[in-house]
Every structure is written in structure tokens, then in C-alpha cells.
Amino acid sequence: MNTNLRAVWLCMKFEIAAMLRGGAGSIVNISSIYGTKPHDLGAAPYAASKHGVNGLSKSAAVDYATQGIRVNVVAPGYTHSDIIDSYIEQAPELSALVVARHSAMNRVGDASETAEAIAWLCSDAASFVNGAVLDVDGGSTTKLV
């Protein structure tokens, strides 16, 4: 909870203060597909923290919208990282099953794809997007029932 939720709240506290002084801004918090649809046994604490990030962000989006501050969330699915790549390396056959289960696109995402979604949410092209949770997951949350 300290890393996944409290840290986001503390960052937002200072970001919002600076944006209020500056007159506007855009915050994009990082959650997870587990904050949308938890789907693994034993993931309750992690899922709860990510649901918290989503709720905190949506509430702040409403609270500060009239002051020119937008708050959105990106919820990545399985994305290449040191942790995910080490799992793939250690158990390629298991990784293939996980990818098949979790991605409609049948692959793990790249961090650059998540970064592009964040850049879009921060841009003027997303000026009317506020309080959204954008799943960047290759269709994982759509595929899972």
C-alpha cells in the first residue's frame, strides 16, 4: 500500500499544488490491469492498491477539473520489464501460456507503448479526457471474463 497507493497520493499532493499555482496541468498515474479486473489468486492486496489508485485519480479528476487540472490513469498489462523478462527467460513454456491467457494480441507489451499512451493523455489531443482509466494491455481485460 505504501508504494502503490500512498506514494501516488503523496506525488499528487505536490503535483496538484504546483499545477494550481501554474493554472493548469495533467497528471497520469500508473495503475495496473489488476485495478480493473483482478484475475490471479493471491493478488488481493496488490489489486486493492491499484483499485485505490484508480479511485483516488477519478476523485481528484472531479475535484480539480474546473481548475484546469486533468487526472487520468494508465493501466498496463503484461509489459516487458526486468521482472517479466526474467520470468520469460526462466520458464518460456509457462510464459507462452500466460501470454496466451492474458493478451488478445498474443504478445507482451513494450514500455514504449505505455509511454505513448501517457504522452497522448498529457497532450492537447486528450484535452477532454479526464478521470479515465486507459487499459494498455493488448486486449487482456477485454479477453478475460
Catalytic residue among 34, 46, 78, 87: 46
Radius of gyration of the chain (CA): 16
User: Of 35-49, 65-79, 120-134, which range is least confident?
Assistant: 35-49
Give me the mean pLDDT over the 59-65 stretch: 99
The whole model's pTM is what? 0.90
CB-based contacts of 71, cutoff 8 Å, min separation 6: 12, 26, 27, 28, 29, 57, 58, 60, 61, 64, 130, 131
pLDDT band at 64 (very low <50, low <70, confident <90, very high): very high
Return the pLDDT at 61.
99
Q: How many domains does the chain have?
A: 1
Respond yes or no: is residue 64 known to be catalytic.
no
Q: Report the run of H or E that residue 99 belongs to, with start and end.
A: helix 92-102
Return the pLDDT at 96.
72
| C-alpha–C-alpha distance, residues 71 and 26, integer Å | 6
Q: Which residue range(s) make up the domain with 116?
A: 2-143
Return the pLDDT at 1.
82
pLDDT band at 81 (very low <50, low <70, confident <90, very high): confident
| C-alpha–C-alpha distance, residues 96 and 118, integer Å | 28
70, β-bridge pairs: 26
User: What CATH number should be reported for the domain holding residue 15?
Assistant: 3.40.50.720
Residues 138, 77 contacting (CB under 8 angstroms) = yes
